[in-house]
Chains A and B, each alone.
Chain A
C-alpha cells in the first residue's frame, strides 16, 4: 500500500524565486538536501527543521551550470560553473572564491555522486571520468562519444563495486541509451525502440540483478520499461542494438488521463508520477500520483492546485517538488505488508520471484507489437516478465503472429468478412492460448465499434460471451461500449459471468437498469430465468392473496406496534406485495445482485444513485426479502435467483449509502416503516426459534446423557 502523508514547505518564495533551474541532490547525511538554483547559489537544507544550514554562491558573472553534489565519502561539495570550472569545498568554507578550483578541458554535463563509489563526472560529449582520475590531470583530453546527439538524461548506480553511468541522448527524434562503466572503460550504445507518435519525456532507472531497468515516461501517457543487461561480452562489436520496450503502466484511470511530466520509482511495484490529470470535460489538474505497476492501479494522488514546475525528486521517503512558488516536501509511505511474512508466504525472498501475474491489457498490446516487428526482442534472463514473454513467444510463435497480423489486416475489412474471420480464428485457436486470443478478438471488435458508431455486433458478442469464459480484465471496454449502446442483455450476461467487474462499472449498470423504462425493456431479449419462478406475472389478480402470512406472523399482528397508523396502509400493502419492477428489470437487477463486489469500493458510488432510483431499488430488495421469507428455507426458486444473503447485503449497503436521502424523502417514509415492521417481525420470529432451539438442545443433551450410561452390551457387526 502506498499513501501520501503530510506535506510542509522547505523553502518559501525567497528572493531567488522558484521556477526552472532548481535542482535537488542528497546532502552529506540523513535529513539533508542540497538545493541548487541555476545561476548562483547552492543551499544545504535540514529537512525536518525546514531551515537552511549553509549557502554558497559563486561570484557575479559566473553561473553554476550543473547541480551541486556532495561527495559522500569526504563530505565535500562539488560544483561546476561556467561549464568547465570545477570547485570543491568543505562545509566550513564560506567563500567559494577561495575554494579549490580546477579548469577542465571539456564541458561538464553533470556530476553524479555515488554513496560508495565517489563522484563521477559526465561530460557533454559523453565522456565519463571518476573525480579521482579527473583531479589527477584536470586538463586531460576527454573523448567525444556522442556525435551530434544531445544528452537528455543521465543516472548513475553502483553495480557491485563498479560505478555505472547511464545516459540517454536524442538526435532527430531518435533516442539512444549509453551505458558506461568508467572504471572498466566499457561503453555500450543502444538505440531505443521508437514509438509512433510519442516521445519520451522523462527517464528514471534502477539496477537489479545486473540489469538496468530504465523506465520512460512517454508523451502518450504511458510508462514503458526497458531492460538493459549489464553483463555482456565486451568483445563483440554489434553495429546497433535496439532496445525493445514493454508497456509497464498506462496512466489512465476511469477515463481521466494523466499527462505526466516526471517519474520516480519508489519500489519494485510502485512508481510516482507528477503530471496533470485531464478528464474529458474538466479542467486539467496538476497531481502527484502513486501507481502500483503490478496491479495497474492508481494507489493515491494529491492535487497540487497552485501548479508545479514539473520536476519531482524523491529522497528518504519524501517527495520534493515546487508547488506554486515554494519548495514543498511531501512525505509518503510505500510498504509491502509484512503480514505475508507472518503467515509464512514470503519464506524465500531470496529466490527470484517468478511472477505468475499476467497483465492482459499489456499482453494484447504486446501481441500486436510482436506482429509489428519482424524480429523478436532479445530475451533477458534475469527478468521474470521477459522470461514469461520469451517462453510464450517460443511456444506460440506460429499462433500469436497470425493473430496480431490478422487483427491488423482486418482493421479495415468489411463487417461480414471480419466476423467470419474472427469466428474461424476462435475455432482454431489452441486451448492454452484461447483466452488471450478471444480477448484480442473482443478488443478488436470493440475498437471497431468505437470507430464506427453504427457498427455493433450484438449477436456475435453474445455468442462469444456464451461460449467462452471471459473476464472483465480480458476485455475492459466491452461493458463500457455495451453501456453506451444500452445493450442490456449483453450487460446482464457480463454481470452474471465476469468475476472481476470493477464496482464502478457495476454501479453504472445498476443505474442504467434502474433508469430504463419498462416499456423499452419489454422489447429487449433479457433472460428472465432468474425471476420467472417467483414474480407473479399476472399482476392484476391481487385479490387471490388477501392475507399474507409471513413465516407464521400475520402482518396484522404488527399493526399494534406501528406508532402512526397510516391511512393508505392497505393501499400500500398491495403495492408491497406485487413486484415494484417489471420482469425484465427484475432480471437485470438480479444480475447486479449476483455480481461480486467489495463494500468499501461500491459504497461511494452508491451514494450517487438518484433518490428515486434508490427508492425503487430498495423497494425491489424489500420485495425480494419478503418473497424469500415466505419459504422456510429462505431461498428463491429459479436459476441464478439472488440468495437471501445477497439481498440483505445490498439492502444494508443501499441504506448505508443513501441514509440521508432516505431520511429526507417523504416517499421513502412508508417504505422504510414497512420494511422496519417486517424486519421487526422477523427478529421476533427468530427469537422464538431461538427458544425452541434451546429446548431441543436440552432434549438432545438429556438424550445424550441417557446414552452415556456407564455400561451397555451392544451388538457390533464387522464385515
Chain B
C-alpha cells in the first residue's frame, strides 16, 4: 500500500476536567456526568456508552450535584447557588433558579421525581417542586448550623438524611423537623480532627449509610441512633457512595482512587440474617473518586483523573455483549482538533481558548519506523482566548488556513488569519450575522468559500465568506418535518454540492447546496452517529455508528452502496465490533478512491474497499504479521482493514496529502502530571 510520512503531534496540551458527579437515569438508559469545569455530559448506555450530549462548562457555574427528575429532565446545582435545568435537545442551559441558601453542596430528587431537595452552605435544606416549565420553591426544612454536604431521600419520601461536618441528621419531610441527629466522630480518638460526612444514603429499611473523611462506611439505625456496622475501607476519605436499586449492593469511592463494593449477603447460605460485606476492591483511578453510580448491571465511577470507568457486574449480566467489558473513558467522543490541510495548520480547542499551530517539515525520506530529522520545527502561531466565563462549544479552521471560527453558548466569532512571513495577524470579522447561538459544529467548505453552522432544532446555517474579511448569511437549511434536537455533526462534500447533517435524534439529513433544498434522509439506523464524511469523488456518505457499524450511502442514488450491503451481509470482524471507543473522524485519500481513513482513540485504520473483508477467523490487526512475510506471500493475507495501533491515545488523524498523515496524541502520563497530586500512597519498593 505504501509508506506515509507521519507528523506525530504531542503538543496538544489538553487536560480533561475531573469528574465531579454522576447521575444514572432511573430507568438506567442514560448516565449524566458533570465535570469540575461545569461541563455536563450524557452517555447513552444503549449506544455503547456513547457520549451523546455535551453541554460545555461555565466558569461561574460549577456543578456539585446532578439529578434526573420528572422523567427525562436533568437538573444541576452547584456552588454558584443556582439550580439549573438543562435543555438536553438544545444542549444548553434552559433556566436557572436561585436556591436562596448560598452555595449548594448537594441536591437529590425524591423517588417519584416530583420534588428536589437541596443542601446549602447555610445549613438549610430546601424543597423545590418540579413543575412544568421550571421549579418552584416549596418550603424550608429545619435549619441547623453547618453546611449540608450530602442528602438522601427515603424511597417513601417521608424522611431526608442530611450529612454535614461531624454529624448527620434525619429530617421528617412533612413536619420539617429534625427527628434525629447523630454524631459520627465520637468513637474516634483523634476527635479533634473534623469528620466530614461526604456521602449518605437512606435505605428503605431505615438504615442510614454514611461515608466519611475517616475512610469509614457506617450503617446506622437512625431511629435508635445506634451504629449497626462500621467498615473502615480506606485510610483516607471515603468520598462518594451509591446504592443499587435493590439496596443489596453499595459502591464507595475513596480519595486514593480505589473503589469498593459492599454487598448485603446472607451470613449463611439460604439464611435470613444478612450482613454487609466488603466484597470487591477496584483501583481504576489514580486520583479522588468523587462520584460513583450503581446501575443495575455495573459499578460506575468517575475520578478527578477525568476517567469514567464502567465496571460490569458479571453475575448480573446474562449474555456477552459490549456492556460486559470494563470500559474506561478519558477523552471526549468528539473532535477537538481541526486541520487546514493545504496550509498544514492545526487548531486545538481548549475549554476557553484555541491554539493554532503550524506543522514542521522534513526533507528526508526513510524506511518504516524511522524518525526523520525535522528541518523546520512546528510553530505555535497564535493563542485565541475566548472572553467571558463561557466555555467553547466548537471551533474550526478553514482548509486554506485563513479563517478560524468558534462558538460559545452566547457568541459566535469568526477571525481572519493572515500569515506574512514570520508574523501572524488575527483580525476579527466584524458584523457576523446575528443568529441564535450556540453553534454546535462549524465546518468550512473545501474551497473555504462558505461556512456551515450547526444549530438548534435541526437547523444548519450557510454563511458565505467574503474577501477580505466578511461574512453573509445565505440560507438556513432545515429538515422538512422539523426537528427538536440540535445538529451535532456536519459533513460537506468536496465539490460543494452536498451537505450531511446529524441531529440529536440520530437522523441524517442530506441537503443539496446548489439549490438549498432538502435532498433525502438516510434510512434510520437506531444508534448514535459518531462520525461521517462524504467521499470527494463518488459523493458516497460514509457513516460510523457508535456500535461500530460502518455504512456507505450513495447520495446521488439515495441508497446504500453495494459495498455497504456486502459489508452488512458479510458482517464486520468480531474484533472490530468489540472495540472500545467510537470512530471520531473519517477522511479519504483523494488519490485513491477506494481508501477510507478512520480513527478512534486507540487505532487508525485505512479501509481499502478493493480488498476482501476479513472473516472472524482471520487476524484483524495483521500489519505486523504481514511485515514479516515476503512480498509474494503477502497477497493472500491482505484484507480490507489496515490497522495501525502505534499512536495512542489518538485524538485526531488526518491526511495532509497523498502520503502524509498527521496524528495528534495525548499520552495519559503527560496530562496526569498536570493534575493535582493525588493522596500519596506508599508503594512497595519505592
Contacts of B9 in A (CB 8 A): 710-711
- Partner of B266 from the list A341, A345, A711, A713 (CB cut-off 8 Å) is A341
Contacts of A698 in B (CB 8 A): none
Complex-state Cα separation, A711 to B172, whole angstroms: 61
The answer to whether A338 and B5 touch across the interface, beta carbons within 8 angstroms, is: no
Closest chain B CB from A317 CB (angstroms): 10
Complex-state Cα separation, A336 to B5, whole angstroms: 64
Query: Is A48 interfacial (CB-CB < 8 Å)?
Result: no
- Partner of B371 from the list A336, A342, A714 (CB cut-off 8 Å) is A714
Complex-state Cα separation, A712 to B634, whole angstroms: 30
Query: Is B368 interfacial (CB-CB < 8 Å)?
Result: yes
Which of A336, A345, A349, A690 has the most chain B CB within a 10 Å cutoff? A336
Would A341 and B269 be within 8 Å (CB), given that A711-B11, A712-B8 are in contact?
yes
Contacts of A343 in B (CB 8 A): 279, 315
Contacts of B60 in A (CB 8 A): none
Complex-state Cα separation, A341 to B270, whole angstroms: 10
Complex-state Cα separation, A349 to B266, whole angstroms: 14
Contacts of B315 in A (CB 8 A): 343-345, 347
Which of A344, A349, A713 has the most chain B CB within a 10 Å cutoff? A713
The answer to whether A716 and B638 touch across the interface, beta carbons within 8 angstroms, is: no
The answer to whether B377 and A715 touch across the interface, beta carbons within 8 angstroms, is: no
Which B residues between 621 and 635 are near A, CB-CB below 8 angstroms? 623, 626-627, 634
Closest chain A CB from B291 CB (angstroms): 25
Would A708 and B265 be within 8 Å (CB), given that A344-B315, A714-B372 are in contact?
no
How many chain A residues touch the partner (CB < 8 A)? 26
Complex-state Cα separation, A337 to B268, whole angstroms: 7
Which A residues between 660 and 719 are near B, CB-CB below 8 angstroms? 690, 708-719
Would A711 and B378 be within 8 Å (CB), given that A716-B646, A718-B1 are in contact?
yes
Complex-state Cα separation, A345 to B670, whole angstroms: 41
Query: Is B422 interfacial (CB-CB < 8 Å)?
Result: no
Complex-state Cα separation, A710 to B665, whole angstroms: 9
Query: Is A346 interfacial (CB-CB < 8 Å)?
Result: yes
Closest chain A CB from B592 CB (angstroms): 12
The answer to whether B362 and A713 touch across the interface, beta carbons within 8 angstroms, is: yes
Query: Is B7 interfacial (CB-CB < 8 Å)?
Result: yes
Complex-state Cα separation, A710 to B370, whole angstroms: 16
Query: Is A396 interfacial (CB-CB < 8 Å)?
Result: no
The answer to whether A338 and B8 touch across the interface, beta carbons within 8 angstroms, is: no
The answer to whether B269 and A336 touch across the interface, beta carbons within 8 angstroms, is: yes
Query: Is A335 interfacial (CB-CB < 8 Å)?
Result: yes
Contacts of B389 in A (CB 8 A): none
Complex-state Cα separation, A710 to B277, whole angstroms: 48
Query: Is B366 interfacial (CB-CB < 8 Å)?
Result: yes
Would A718 and B5 be within 8 Å (CB), given that A336-B270, A337-B269, A338-B266 are in contact?
no
Closest chain B CB from A170 CB (angstroms): 36
Would A711 and B269 be within 8 Å (CB), given that A718-B606, A718-B642 are in contact?
no
The answer to whether A711 and B4 touch across the interface, beta carbons within 8 angstroms, is: no
Complex-state Cα separation, A545 to B277, whole angstroms: 60
Contact with B along A345-358 (1 / 0, CB 8 A): 11101000000000
Contacts of B606 in A (CB 8 A): 718
The answer to whether B2 and A717 touch across the interface, beta carbons within 8 angstroms, is: yes
Would A714 and B8 be within 8 Å (CB), given that A344-B314, A347-B315 are in contact?
yes
Complex-state Cα separation, A113 to B651, whole angstroms: 76
Closest chain B CB from A347 CB (angstroms): 6
Closest chain A CB from B272 CB (angstroms): 12
The answer to whether B268 and A713 touch across the interface, beta carbons within 8 angstroms, is: no
Which B residues between 587 and 628 are near A, CB-CB below 8 angstroms? 606, 623, 626-627
By beta carbon, the residue of chain B nearest A712 is B8
Contacts of A344 in B (CB 8 A): 313-316
Closest chain B CB from A702 CB (angstroms): 14
The answer to whether B11 and A715 touch across the interface, beta carbons within 8 angstroms, is: no
The answer to whether B374 and A713 touch across the interface, beta carbons within 8 angstroms, is: yes
Would A715 and B4 be within 8 Å (CB), given that A347-B315, A710-B11 are in contact?
yes
Query: Is B579 interfacial (CB-CB < 8 Å)?
Result: no
Contacts of B634 in A (CB 8 A): 719
Closest chain B CB from A121 CB (angstroms): 33
Contacts of B268 in A (CB 8 A): 335-336, 338
The answer to whether A713 and B5 touch across the interface, beta carbons within 8 angstroms, is: yes
Q: Binding site of B, secondary structure by majority: helix, strand, loop or mixed? A: mixed
Query: Is B571 interfacial (CB-CB < 8 Å)?
Result: no
Complex-state Cα separation, A396 to B378, whole angstroms: 79
Contacts of A340 in B (CB 8 A): 269
By beta carbon, the residue of chain B nearest A694 is B685
Contacts of B572 in A (CB 8 A): none
Would A715 and B269 be within 8 Å (CB), given that A343-B315, A708-B667, A710-B11 are in contact?
no
Closest chain A CB from B333 CB (angstroms): 25
Contacts of A710 in B (CB 8 A): 9-11
Query: Is B367 interfacial (CB-CB < 8 Å)?
Result: yes
The answer to whether A719 and B623 touch across the interface, beta carbons within 8 angstroms, is: yes
Query: Is B6 interfacial (CB-CB < 8 Å)?
Result: yes
Complex-state Cα separation, A711 to B365, whole angstroms: 17
The answer to whether B368 and A715 touch across the interface, beta carbons within 8 angstroms, is: yes
Closest chain B CB from A716 CB (angstroms): 5
- Partner of B627 from the list A335, A345, A711, A719 (CB cut-off 8 Å) is A719
The answer to whether A719 and B269 touch across the interface, beta carbons within 8 angstroms, is: no
- Partner of A716 from the list B6, B316, B374 (CB cut-off 8 Å) is B6
Contact with A along B1-22 (1 / 0, CB 8 A): 1111111111100000000000
Query: Is B644 interfacial (CB-CB < 8 Å)?
Result: yes
The answer to whether A718 and B670 touch across the interface, beta carbons within 8 angstroms, is: no
By beta carbon, the residue of chain A nearest B359 is A711
- Partner of A718 from the list B4, B265, B667 (CB cut-off 8 Å) is B4
Query: Is B381 interfacial (CB-CB < 8 Å)?
Result: no
Complex-state Cα separation, A713 to B269, whole angstroms: 63
Which of A342, A346, A349 has the most chain B CB within a 10 Å cutoff? A342
- Partner of A714 from the list B265, B370, B626, B638 (CB cut-off 8 Å) is B370
Query: Is B675 interfacial (CB-CB < 8 Å)?
Result: no
Would A719 and B371 be within 8 Å (CB), given that A342-B277, A711-B377 are in contact?
no
Contacts of A341 in B (CB 8 A): 265-266, 269
Complex-state Cα separation, A342 to B265, whole angstroms: 7
Complex-state Cα separation, A337 to B277, whole angstroms: 13
Contacts of B314 in A (CB 8 A): 344
Contacts of B270 in A (CB 8 A): 336, 349
The answer to whether B10 and A709 touch across the interface, beta carbons within 8 angstroms, is: yes
Which of A344, A710, A712, A714 has the most chain B CB within a 10 Å cutoff? A714
Query: Is B191 interfacial (CB-CB < 8 Å)?
Result: no
By beta carbon, the residue of chain A nearest B7 is A713
The answer to whether B269 and A335 touch across the interface, beta carbons within 8 angstroms, is: yes
Contacts of A335 in B (CB 8 A): 268-269
Closest chain A CB from B410 CB (angstroms): 34
The answer to whether B627 and A717 touch across the interface, beta carbons within 8 angstroms, is: yes
Would A715 and B370 be within 8 Å (CB), given that A342-B279, A344-B314, A708-B667 are in contact?
yes
Query: Is B369 interfacial (CB-CB < 8 Å)?
Result: yes
Which B residues between 323 and 381 are near A, CB-CB below 8 angstroms? 360-362, 365-372, 374, 377-378
Would A338 and B372 be within 8 Å (CB), given that A713-B360, A717-B2, A719-B642 are in contact?
no
Complex-state Cα separation, A690 to B685, whole angstroms: 9
Contact with A along B538-574 (1 / 0, CB 8 A): 0000000000000000000000000000000000000
Query: Is B661 interfacial (CB-CB < 8 Å)?
Result: yes
Query: Is B263 interfacial (CB-CB < 8 Å)?
Result: yes
The answer to whether B360 and A716 touch across the interface, beta carbons within 8 angstroms, is: no
Given contacts A710-B9, A711-B11, 4 further A-B contacts (CB under 8 A): A711-B10, A713-B8, A717-B4, A719-B1
- B interface list, Cβ under 8 A from A: 1-11, 263, 265-270, 277, 279, 313-316, 360-362, 365-372, 374, 377-378, 606, 623, 626-627, 634, 638, 642, 644, 646, 661, 667, 670, 685
- 13 A-B contact pairs sorted by A residue (CB < 8 Å): A338-B265, A341-B266, A710-B9, A711-B360, A712-B372, A715-B5, A715-B6, A715-B372, A716-B3, A717-B367, A718-B1, A718-B4, A718-B642
- Which 5 residue pairs are nearest across A and B when measured between Cβ atoms? A344-B315, A717-B368, A336-B269, A710-B11, A719-B626
